Structure 1
Amino acid sequence: MATPAVSSATAEYDRAKEVKEFDDSKIGVKGLVDAGAIIIPRFFVHPPENLTYLNSSSTKEIPVIDLADVNSDRRSEIVEHIRLASHTWGFFQVINHGIPTFVLDETIAAVKSFNEQPTTWKSEFYTRDQGSRFRFATNFDLFQSKAASWRDTMQVRMEKYTDNIPATYRKEILAWEAHTKVLAESLTELLSEGLGVGSRNLKELCCLQTVGHYYPFCPQPEMTLGTASHSDPGILTVLLQDQIGGLQVKHGEEWIAVNPVAGGLVINVGDFFEIISNDEYKSVEHRVLANNCREPRISIVTFFSPSKMGDTDFYGPLPDLLSPEKPPLYRNFTVGEYIGKFLNKGLDGKSYVDAFRL
């Protein structure tokens, strides 16, 4: 298998050609590192305006919320903490969330192991077919983005049949999925209570997909990102990160580091929840720095999104939140229209949400 050139110092630069050659090689970013890359390909280089405040010195931290005894008389206190964090930050971390530590550790180990298998084996799963229930690729928006990000990703779309997941990692991924689904349903109840609409468990909630990100060492971390600035399109996101760090959240005009908490999980509100909450909850931009450590950074993200995707299934601000004093800020739309706008735009801020604003 031919390996694409790792140097961007060429007299003529045909971006489309270089991106296609890289994608056709199916080696991923880790393949470039294994080939000895000391200069990142030009299509990974981000413009200077995307690379501001990479070394944020802010001492602010996103809230950490203890979910212990959530069904006791502490519930109203926890609801208020979550409501405030979702309104002001859009992000928070949870501890005592009920997912055993061994499940967290085994999930991270499984994602790391998959990405460190021989390239010839991994390449069998390399695809951009959105219909594939298990796939491996570099940047889902590689051909749409203005600049690629330095990471590889395995994606799992959980459905009735799970034999599409490699047997070596199936048990760990299924255990993670099962636990996070329970947690996400509990969190949406708490978030709904914070809106004052009672224990409205969003029955439309489903596990759309889990992704495992692998961020290998980057030889020029000051010139690229691990994940470009974006907001998540769904209802809710549950993130497990290892102890290396690199995640940053935009708070006002500052970029705030989300420092890993032992045994903790990062939770963030998605754009869809911002819309149906009529802006009571905030979905905010976040990014991941390119990894400057020799040890790879691993993160696992599960996105929860609405399952009703028919042409007659419309969504918009929850009616219970609307009044003459608080009119709807968004028009109704179908999930198909909503996801279509996100996929066409790729990871590039969150301006696509404005297409639904009244």
Structure 2
Amino acid sequence: MATPAKLLLTDLASSVSHVPSNYIRPIFDRPNLSDVVQISDASIPLIALQGLHGPRHSHIIKQTAQACQHHGFFQVKNHGIPEQVINNMLRIASEFFRLPESERLKNYSDDPSKTMRLSTSFNVKTEKVANRRDFLRLHCFPLEDYVNQWPTNHPSFR
């Protein structure tokens, strides 16, 4: 009997000695760093969200729009999420990804329209080259509409 293919990169990586071809992008599809203009004073835009729902609202929205237009990304600070909440979320996520493969795969889906899914690529059905990552996608707002879809293992997850 043939060994079933590993769905998640984490499990595949522990069982192979080389990178499978479906994880290798063709040269023409890879970033070419020589084509990237290096800007010596470049930095990631940093947007303080404190006051977003107050008198600074318009200014913060303008900063965000400019960062998206000129950089395509930005970093936020003063978002109001306590450090303990962030640390707990990271701890629980780590516990989830350390579960046995059979337990994690209960949450696996290659359907990109699902609001809760564990997968390894943006769209497994259409991508020719797989992304080198595993992710757990959880919709969270409003919480009461989605929390019942979240994984039940690790017990502290919900």
Give the TM-score taking structure 2 as reference length: 0.73
- In structure 1, the residue matched to 2:145 is 160
Structure 2, unmatched stretches of 5+, are none
**1:210-269 C-alpha deviation (Å, 9 max, x unpaired):** xxxxxxxxxxxxxxxxxxxxxxxxxxxxxxxxxxxxxxxxxxxxxxxxxxxxxxxxxxxx
Deviation at 1:65, TM superposition (A): 1.4
Given candidates 13, 29, 33, the residue that maps to 2:13 is: 33
Query: Alpha carbons of 1:2 and 1:152: their partners in 2 closer, same or farther (altered >3 Å)?
Result: farther
Deviation at 1:144, TM superposition (A): 1.2
Query: Alpha carbons of 1:41 and 1:103: their partners in 2 closer, same or farther (altered >3 Å)?
Result: same
**1:74-101 C-alpha deviation (Å, 9 max, x unpaired):** 4454344233223322322110011111
Q: Which has the higher helix share?
A: 2
- In structure 1, the residue matched to 2:50 is 68
- In structure 2, the residue matched to 1:89 is 71
2:29 maps to amino acid: N
- In structure 2, the residue matched to 1:121 is 103
Q: Superposition pairs for residues 287-298 of structure 1, below 5 Å?
A: none
Query: Alpha carbons of 1:102 and 1:40: their partners in 2 closer, same or farther (altered >3 Å)?
Result: same
Give the TM-score taking structure 1 as reference length: 0.36
Give 3-state SS (helix, strand or coil) of 1:85's partner.
helix
Q: Does 1:49 align with 2:35?
A: no
- The 2-side partners of 1:151 and 1:58 are apart by 29
Deviation at 1:156, TM superposition (A): 2.4
- The 1-side partners of 2:147 and 2:57 are apart by 36
- The 2-side partners of 1:49 and 1:117 are apart by 37
Deviation at 1:153, TM superposition (A): 1.8
Deviation at 1:67, TM superposition (A): 2.4
Query: Alpha carbons of 1:128 and 1:69: their partners in 2 closer, same or farther (altered >3 Å)?
Result: closer
- In structure 1, the residue matched to 2:157 is 170
- The 2-side partners of 1:140 and 1:2 are apart by 27
Given candidates 92, 108, 116, the residue that maps to 1:110 is: 92
2:147 maps to amino acid: T
Give 3-state SS (helix, strand or coil) of 1:163's partner.
helix
Query: Alpha carbons of 1:105 and 1:58: their partners in 2 closer, same or farther (altered >3 Å)?
Result: farther
Contact 2:108 2:119 in 1 (8 A): yes
- In structure 2, the residue matched to 1:340 is none
- The 2-side partners of 1:139 and 1:84 are apart by 29
Query: Alpha carbons of 1:78 and 1:135: their partners in 2 closer, same or farther (altered >3 Å)?
Result: closer
Deviation at 1:58, TM superposition (A): 5.1
Deviation at 1:118, TM superposition (A): 1.0
Query: Alpha carbons of 1:163 and 1:69: their partners in 2 closer, same or farther (altered >3 Å)?
Result: closer
Provide the aligned length of Structure 1 versus Structure 2: 150
- CA-based RMSD of the aligned residues comes to 3.1
Query: Alpha carbons of 1:58 and 1:32: their partners in 2 closer, same or farther (altered >3 Å)?
Result: farther
